[in-house]
Amino acid sequence: MNKKERALFIEKKLNELFPNPKAPLNHSNAFTLLIAVLLSAQTTDKRVNIVTEELFKLASTPEKMFKLGEAKVYDVIKTCGLAPKKAKAIIETSKILIDNHGGKVPKDLTLLEELPGVGHKTASVVVSEFFKVPAFPVDTHIHRLAQRWGLTNGKSVKQTEKDLKEIFEKMNWRNLHLQIIFYGRAFCTSRGCDGTI
C-alpha cells in the first residue's frame, strides 16, 4: 500500500468513525473562537468550555474583554494551564483588534499570527472553522498519528502540515483535522498506541 492508498484508507475509516465532526470548543463569533483556541493550549477542551462559559457571559467582544482587564480575565481562567500568560495575551490581543482591526478578527492567517498568544496552529483553526478558509492545523495528536501512519517523516509540525496538505484534498482538510484529533483522543493517546486504524 503506497502513501496515497494508505491516506485514502485512513480517510475512509475516519469518515466512518466521525462522519460530521463538530468543533469541540464553544463559541458564538470569530472573537470567542479565537479566545477559546488560545486558551486550549496545555488544557483540555472540556476545561476551556467550562471557563469560557463564564468568560463569554462577561465579554464576547474585544471591547468588552479589554474593559474586563487582565486581573479579572485571569480570575476567570485561572484553572487553565498557563493562565497568567494567557490572560495577558487575551487583553493585548483585544487591544490590537480594537486599535488595528476595528474590533474585528481578521481572516488573514498572517495578521492573526501577529496577535499575542496566537501561533500558526491557533490562526489556522480560526480561519478554517470560522471563515471556512482551507487550513490544516496540526496539533500533537495529528503530528504523532501522521508519523505512525507513515504519512510524514514528522521532523517538525510544519513538515507534517505540508505533507498532509499534499496528500489530502483541500476541501477535506477541516474535517480531517478534527477527525484525526478525535481519533487520537479516543484510541491513540501518546502512550501505548501503534496508530492502528
Active-site residues, by number, are: 121, 139
Tell me, rounded to whole angstroms, the distance of Cα 12 from its chain centroid. 23
Q: How far apart are CA 166 and CA 123, in angstroms?
A: 20
Contact (Cβ atoms closer than 8 angstroms) between residue 178 and residue 23: yes
Grid coordinates given for 61: 467582544
Grid coordinates given for 145: 498519528
Q: How far apart are CA 170 and CA 168, in angstroms?
A: 6
Residue 22 DSSP code: P
